[in-house]
C-alpha cells in the first residue's frame, strides 16, 4: 500500500543557508495537481505559494522542533485534522445486527 503525503502551501517563504526555499507564515496542506488546500482555501485567491518539494509531515516536524532562528510557521488546524487518520472507522463497514 502506497501512502502519499500532501505537500505544503504557505503565505510566505524564506531561504535557508543551503539556498533551499522553505515555507513560513500560514502553512496549509495541499495535494499536488489541485488548486485548493485540504481545508478548502483556494491557492491563488489566498496568494499561497506552493512548496511541492516540502511534504506536510516534514513541515510538521520542523514546526515542532524549530530553532530560534527559524521563521514562525502557523500550521492550519483544519489541514492538520484532515491529514490525521480517522479513528474508530471499520474498513469492512458490515453491520453486526441488521434490522429484520
Q: Are 47 and 68 in contact (CB under 8 A)?
A: no
pLDDT in tens, the chain (100 residues): 445 789 999 999 988 889 989 898 899 999 988 999 999 999 999 999 999 999 988 888 776 776 666 677 889 999 988 888 777 656 566 667 777 7
DSSP state of 42: B
As a whole number of angstroms, the distance between CA 23 and CA 43 comes to: 14
Instruction: List beta partners, residue 31.
Output: none
Instruction: List beta partners, residue 26.
Output: 74
Amino acid at each position: 500500500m502506497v501512502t502519499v503525503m500532501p505537500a505544503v502551501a504557505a503565505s510566505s517563504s524564506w531561504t535557508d543557508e543551503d539556498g533551499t526555499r522553505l515555507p513560513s507564515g500560514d502553512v496549509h496542506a495541499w495535494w499536488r495537481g489541485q488548486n485548493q488546500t485540504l481545508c478548502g482555501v483556494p491557492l491563488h485567491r489566498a496568494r499561497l505559494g506552493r512548496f511541492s518539494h516540502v511534504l506536510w509531515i516534514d513541515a510538521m516536524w520542523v514546526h515542532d522542533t524549530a530553532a530560534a532562528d527559524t521563521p514562525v510557521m502557523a500550521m492550519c488546524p483544519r489541514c492538520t485534522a484532515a491529514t490525521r487518520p480517522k479513528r474508530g472507522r471499520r474498513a469492512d463497514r458490515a453491520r453486526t445486527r441488521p434490522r429484520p
